[in-house]
A and B are shown apart, each in its own frame.
Chain A
């Protein structure tokens, strides 16, 4: 098979221990089998990381990937992925960002970084690849680091850097690109820190061709028009992810979840979210506001905000600080939550897990399970100054923060005294946005079973009728056979199949390098995604083939975890969600009872074709994926 279009065509391998830098052609067969980006990253991680390698071992490998549409004019094709063994769960970790696509202009689809440098370094991936010393950067926050590297190399470079949290191996450390957009979840920043790798800078002069330029641009223009004709596009452009914030607070839209509050002890309804109205944020508080886009995105749902008496900063997700710090940690008011976000961004720590850790510690303190002897004299409370103090202590591993810095699985184990009950985590990742008891959807099913842990994917299909489910999935291009499976079972809707289908669709979007907006809002037919893949790469592909390739990527992630000993007991909810009901706007929502949980897990395993009891891949499937 000759070189495919779309792909840059090479994999870069950097060993920081030996300082060896090599490159190999990307196998077109492997690219077609796993599409690219997150999917092929998972296959490469499976091959590169020996079984049972500790997350902070030099043998753990950071695999970076940009899918076949990244670097082209395909609208929203900016998403890139980093995969490695996660220090949070010790299973596979994975996180995405929209600002590192420039690596393809250096000539690489994937970058494999292994080993450990003997001192701080940063990696320049350009027309030449260089490992440069970074003693002068160590200790700096992500904004300062980015500025220094831009001065050294030029601002055309995309910069992914870690802050003090990553340097200090904080399990929830993030990698921040161009000062604001995060590879946020699963602790990829800590793996980078464990390698003494302070930053990666990418840019180059190599071009990306597509197999059928005329057809490709017709499809690009059609998709772009459809995106910009989306009914809520102007609201999305104005509000970004805050588009759904009021619904989460008020519950005005049927099926909306509700924001978790004070470590999921209750929900953040209108009464407690008095100081979070959008009219105040976009009225008297807002001094300056502008759109920011990921690479090749015509929408610009990210924003720069300058608040009166508050921070001036770019934000990937305007909603996350309000839901995480305003909800989980009960920090009151826009300015206070965005101050928390700025601190997290600079120090390089994930918002949601930091908020979940601090919320857990605060509840433990208020219940008398821990006291000032545990917290270095700090009186933990739902107050912004205390929360920001804790963000710093965790990021610098100071005192009690040193204990919390090991994450939501290890920290409560070390505290003991029943603390694990109060850790609201999914495979080590903290709760974010809504409380999974507040609505019941394919998203809550995916939270339970997906291999990464807490995740925003896939599309949420709420407790709709079979007819409504059919309507949405037909819009997204489901084939008749799959639809029959989705609509099977006594309740008229097989949740396992709904979850599988929507996960496969979401992962196909991610592997191609496209924005999640494609599946969360646009409902673009999967066949059209296959068409643009074909026009870019020259590889024949239909919607069914695209979903099968995505399923291979999700299965190889499962294979990674299976090798590390994952079992059915890992596919569960936080203990609180299994025992305590939740009052949501006057209605009592029950906890996830064991029988219901078991049924959800079994249905999902069946839909995936895994062993229905153990959730394992068959030897034949494993052989197919790894041959």
Chain B
């Protein structure tokens, strides 16, 4: 997929639903498979309750497919 502009991450709004990661794994796999471990966006609970850490892996092409699946305004792209 085409690499586009950087994705901005406002992790403080994240609710930990993982919908971004589920969408990434599904739409970026040829076989259309839901698989958190294959997602290029990784969400894990923080050490402090109510916090989540979000990482974009090196394989992330910034295609932005994850963005519409976030309903908490965490992800955005210019």
Contact = CB atoms under 8 A, between A and B. Distances in A.
B71 A228 contact: yes
14 contacts: A72-B22, A147-B47, A178-B45, A180-B49, A203-B36, A204-B37, A205-B37, A207-B29, A210-B32, A295-B17, A298-B71, A300-B71, A304-B51, A313-B49
Contacts of A303: 50
B75 interface: no
Contact of B13 (A72, A205, A290): A290
Contacts of B15: 290-293, 297, 300
Given A105-B36, A204-B37, A207-B29, A298 B17 contact: yes
Contacts of B35: 105, 205-208
B56 interface: no
A156 B36 contact: yes
Interface in B31-78: 31-38, 42, 44-45, 47, 49-51, 53, 69, 71-72
Contacts of B36: 102, 105, 156, 203
Contact of B50 (A105, A147, A208, A290): A290
A297 B16 CA distance: 9
A68 to B, nearest CB: 12
Nearest to A304: B50
A495 B26 CA distance: 44
Contact of A156 (B19, B29, B44): B44
Interface of B: 12-13, 15-19, 22-23, 25-26, 29, 31-38, 42, 44-45, 47, 49-51, 53, 69, 71-72
Contacts of B12: 290
Contact of B34 (A150, A203, A207): A207
B24 to A, nearest CB: 11
A155 interface: yes
B34 to A, nearest CB: 4
Contacts of B51: 304
Nearest to B68: A221
A196 to B, nearest CB: 26
Given A207-B38, A213-B32, A314-B50, 15 more contacts: A73-B22, A105-B36, A154-B44, A156-B36, A156-B37, A203-B36, A207-B33, A208-B35, A291-B15, A291-B72, A292-B15, A292-B16, A303-B50, A304-B51, A313-B49
Nearest to B17: A293
Nearest to B70: A298
Interface string A374-398: 0000000000000000000000000
